Homo-oligomer: A and B are copies of this chain.
Amino acid sequence: MIGSGNVATILGRKMIQAGHEVAQVFSKQEDHARALALEFACGYTASLGALEREADLFVAALADSAIPDLAAVLRLDRKLIVHTAGAVSKEVLKPVSTNYGVLYPLQSIHREIPVATEIPLLIDGNTAEDLALLADFARTMTDKVRVADDAMRTKLHVAAVLVNNFTNHLYALAEDYCLKEGLEFSLLKPLIQETALRLETRSPRLLQTGPAARGDLGTIQSHLSLLEAYPEIKELYGHLTKSILANH
């Protein structure tokens, strides 16, 4: 396991739960490597020269920008190496080995927060054999395994930004507004959860409600007035309302 951050931690745990063995943890930050190796009951190193080279799979669970840096210095001949990034081409790993690919968890991953839902795994490989191997491996950890090439993975990453980063930002703005207005943000949590859980059975297009969806310009206007002291929220309110109005 190359890396010791959020994805390395959660993916390593998944692997161990599925009966695989993590042979070694590498991290430039030795204390991070040691801490994770302790959890995984395996060796660790902070030196690429001391990398355990007998593993079946090398997982580079690194920040996007760190993957090319690794690829510039690591040589693994015919060993299969994958990265775990949504927005990085698998070709970045080409200098490392004849066999390379991707194992991308399409999920929001924080080391300290157990994932309560599923973690779909998007896989890619430069040979059919590696792809089959990665598919078998990924399926030991989740039922939701899909082959996705660079183009498809990048597009899903865009969609993930819309439904995760942007919605979370709206939650954060709402929390901010509630704090400043003396409202209990927690009262909104059932609504937030309901909005997400409902997609299990319905298309979001059919679930759109609210003043913009029903063209209620009076309520929109009074909301904009209430947001006078929050120019940032007010601006986004305007843009998103315009977009909903155009769709309904």
Show the binding face of A for B, using Cβ within 8 Å. 64-65, 87, 106-108, 110, 113, 115-120, 122, 144, 146, 152, 154-178, 181, 183-185, 187-205, 207-213, 216, 219, 222-223, 226-227, 232-233, 235-237, 239-240, 243-244, 246-247
Contacts and interface: CB of A to CB of B under 8 A. Distances in A.
Contacts of A110: 207, 209
A156 B194 contact: no
A216 B246 CA distance: 30
Given A168-B204, A208-B169, A219 B189 contact: no
Contacts of A175: 203-205
Nearest to A65: B216
Nearest to A115: B194
Given A163-B170, A166-B244, A189-B199, 4 more contacts: A64-B219, A87-B223, A108-B207, A169-B212
Contact of A191 (B107, B212, B232, B240): B107
Nearest to A211: B161
Contact of A193 (B165, B191, B196): B196
Contacts of A120: 187, 190
A98 to B, nearest CB: 27
A205 B175 CA distance: 8
B155 A190 contact: no
A223 B189 CA distance: 30
A47 to B, nearest CB: 27
A139 B82 CA distance: 54
Contacts of A239: 235-236, 239
B243 A169 contact: yes
